Amino acid sequence: MQAIVILDFGAQYSQLIARRLRALHVYCELLPFDAPQAEIEKLSPRALILSGGPNSVYDPGAPALPAYVLASGLPVLGICYGMQLIAQALHGVVHRADRREYGPATITVGGPSALFHGVPPALNVWMSHGDSVERLPDGFATLAQSPNTPFAAIGDAARRIYGVQFHPEVTHTEHGLDILRNFVYDVCGVSPNWVPANIIEESIAQVRAQTGPQGRVLCALSGGVDSAVTATLIGRAIGERLTCFFVDHGLLRQNEGDEAMALFTEHLDLNVVRVNAGERFLSKLAGVSDPERKRKIIGEEFIRVFEEEAKALGPFEFLAQGTLYPDVIESAGQGKKDAARIKSHHNVGGLPARMDFTLVEPLKRLFKDEVRAIGRTLGLPERWVNRQPFPGPGLAVRIIGPVTREATETLQAADAIVRQEIDAVPDVQRRLWQYFAVLTPVQTVGVMGDGRTYANLVAVRAVASEDGMTANWAHLPHDLLARISARIVNEVPGVNRVVYDISSKPPATIEWE
């Protein structure tokens, strides 16, 4: 696959550059600026992109431009700090500024250039820089300017070296994607072949190469999209030599265990062992109210089940993990270059720290949206691909107070109503990150028919969020809330009152525990 290498000089937006190129169906990797040259060469890059960064090129110890970049003869695009590095290396002049230019600016595009082909002559871009280029290196022309930045974009078409002072990767820059597209397709001549069918084919070949003709792989399915796609890719590669297991800890949403099994075995044709461990988890959780203890118990119990299954179904040489590219970038960025260590599994609460497995990680070059696209191509139904995040400890952290079978069933019934009603209004559903019910131990007085009731309070939670780090409570239509409330009180025994949670994160968290 033709690759573009992005060298990361520490910008806030480096990962975004990679995501934009992937959106253009171009394979790229983001590597630290000081990654060994051999590592870059292994990728046989078709072009190099230099990210921005917080430094001034004059700072002592500022990240330097590796000599191979300009010596390679490859097309180069420098963004912000990356452009300044190019100017400095080629004997232009970079002006040291004492004030940063931060925010929107309007640039005027000069004459015709490959970089701005088809882009309007004036556009709003996003600037975030201190220093700027003051004199161009020989051979360079000004491609765009702004009132504050005379060299907002520069280029040497003959050597295919370009620089932009603004950030084409952020959405605030109009036509930013067009500028990147012009660079990768027209300047570099790279074709958009990073598409699901090719990614699948390549991943399958890699899994086959890694596992050899005999290697057996174990994969724990969580019910989420990452592990389902991981298992499906490996299953297509090695068939019977993959064994999956799915731990039903009894704290899944209504019918979720059965639905997950039907998906795995009928639609994805996987060999899956279901471990019904509900009783086991419930007995460990008996009488426990503290949220952190609940999480710990569930995490530890999962490890127990995992070890037992690995032993019973094994031996296995390989363990499948749904590691995604952002995890790999993060570990490389922290100087921990060995991304192939077992990281704690978000979905299940942590696998044993020391295990004698080699990891198979077919998603480790993919972003989440690419995993979803591949999932669709592999035949995962849309509702699975777009499934809302679900915490590993499941409903245990949505039952406030001790977890019992009765409480779990009550919550499952209320939660199913919340999901059915919201799913029935796709315009609302699309805007939400998560929506669910929470069972509280608060009992309140109510009246039903002619009788008094004294039953539990259910809270409904619906939030909008980009990544779960912050979230806003959703302004659900009142008639929708009314339907949810009426149905829960009428259909779920043991609940006589429903409240809507109007707290955002921060200061609240998304889950109640």
Which residues are catalytically annotated? 80, 167, 169
Facing residues of 330 across strands?
none
Is-contact 19 43, C-beta < 8 A? Answer: no
Q: Which residue, 276 or 509, has its beta carbon nearer to ligand XMP?
A: 509
Rg of the Cα atoms in the chain:
27
Helices and strands of the chain, counted as H and E runs: 16, 20
Options 183-191, 326-334, 385-393, 414-422: segment touching ligand XMP (CB under 6 A): 385-393
Binding mask 241-280 for ligand XMP (x = CB under 6 A): ----------------------------------------
329-352: b or e for each residue (b if 16 or more CB lie within 10 Å)?
A: bebbbeeeeebeebeebebbbbbe
Options 70-78, 165-173, 389-397, 494-502: segment touching ligand XMP (CB under 6 A): 389-397
Please, what is the minimum distance in Å from the beta carbon of residue 245 to ligand XMP? 18
Using rule CB under 6 A, residue 216 touches ligand XMP = no
Using rule CB under 6 A, residue 291 touches ligand XMP = no
Options 40-48, 68-76, 242-250, 390-398: segment touching ligand XMP (CB under 6 A): 390-398
Q: Which of 468, 480, 500, 503 binds ligand XMP (CB under 6 A)?
A: 468
Classified as helix, coil or strand, 488 is helix
Query: In this structure, are strands 451-464 and 472-473 parallel, antiparallel, or unpaired?
Result: antiparallel
Q: Which residue, 223 or 362, has its beta carbon nearer to ligand XMP?
A: 223
Using rule CB under 6 A, residue 511 touches ligand XMP = yes
Q: Residue 16 contacts by C-beta under 8 Å, 6 or more apart in sequence?
A: 169, 170
Binding mask 160-199 for ligand XMP (x = CB under 6 A): ----------------------------------------
Query: In this structure, are strands 101-109 and 141-145 parallel, antiparallel, or unpaired?
Result: antiparallel
Please, what is the minimum distance in Å from the beta carbon of residue 388 to ligand XMP? 8
Which residues 322-351 are close enough to bind ligand XMP by CB under 6 A?
A: 346-347
Residue 208, H or E segment: helix 196-211
Using rule CB under 6 A, residue 461 touches ligand XMP = no
Options 72-80, 329-337, 372-380, 386-394: segment touching ligand XMP (CB under 6 A): 386-394
Phi, psi of 201, deg, nearest 5: -60, -45
Query: Of 120, 108, 102, 122, nearest to 12 (Cα)?
Result: 102
Using rule CB under 6 A, residue 434 touches ligand XMP = yes
Using rule CB under 6 A, residue 392 touches ligand XMP = yes
Is-contact 28 3, C-beta < 8 A? Answer: yes
Using rule CB under 6 A, residue 223 touches ligand XMP = no
Q: Which residue, 138 or 467, has its beta carbon nearer to ligand XMP?
A: 467
Please, what is the minimum distance in Å from the beta carbon of residue 3 to ligand XMP? 32
Options 189-197, 245-253, 268-276, 388-396: segment touching ligand XMP (CB under 6 A): 388-396
The torsion angle over the Cα atoms of residues 316, 322, 325 and 330, rounded to 10 degrees, is -80
Peptide bond into 507 cis (omega under 30): yes
Q: Which residue, 327 or 511, has its beta carbon nearer to ligand XMP?
A: 511
Q: How many CB atoms lie within 10 A of CB 120?
A: 10
Q: How many CB atoms lie within 10 A of CB 285?
A: 24
Q: Which residue, 75 or 392, has its beta carbon nearer to ligand XMP?
A: 392
Please, what is the minimum distance in Å from the beta carbon of residue 512 to ligand XMP? 8
Dmax of the chain from CA atoms? 90
Q: How many residues bind ligand XMP (CB under 6 A)?
A: 13
Tell me how far apart the alpha carbons of residues 233 and 230 are, in angstroms, rounded to a whole number.
5
For 487, how many CA atoms within 13 A lie in the half-sphere containing its CB?
18
Please, what is the minimum distance in Å from the beta carbon of residue 394 to ligand XMP? 9
Q: Which residue, 32 or 392, has its beta carbon nearer to ligand XMP?
A: 392
Options 56-64, 202-210, 243-251, 387-395: segment touching ligand XMP (CB under 6 A): 387-395
Options 41-49, 205-213, 300-308, 384-392: segment touching ligand XMP (CB under 6 A): 384-392
Is-contact 79 42, C-beta < 8 A? Answer: no
Q: Residue 354 contacts by C-beta under 8 Å, 6 or more apart in sequence?
A: none
Facing residues of 102 across strands?
128
Q: Which of 393, 412, 488, 495 binds ligand XMP (CB under 6 A)?
A: 393
Tokens of 286: 């008996």
Please, what is the minimum distance in Å from the beta carbon of residue 406 to ligand XMP? 23
Q: Which of 391, 407, 417, 457 binds ligand XMP (CB under 6 A)?
A: 391
Q: Residue 288 contacts by C-beta under 8 Å, 6 or more apart in sequence?
A: 294, 297, 402, 403
Residue at 323: amino acid letter: T
Tokens of 380: 């995962």
Q: Tell me 12's DSSP state.
A: T
Using rule CB under 6 A, residue 155 touches ligand XMP = no
Binding mask 293-312 for ligand XMP (x = CB under 6 A): --x-----------------
Phi, psi of 418, deg, nearest 5: -55, -45
Using rule CB under 6 A, residue 505 touches ligand XMP = yes
Q: What residue ranges bind ligand XMP (CB under 6 A)? A: 295, 346-347, 389, 391-393, 434, 468, 505, 509-511
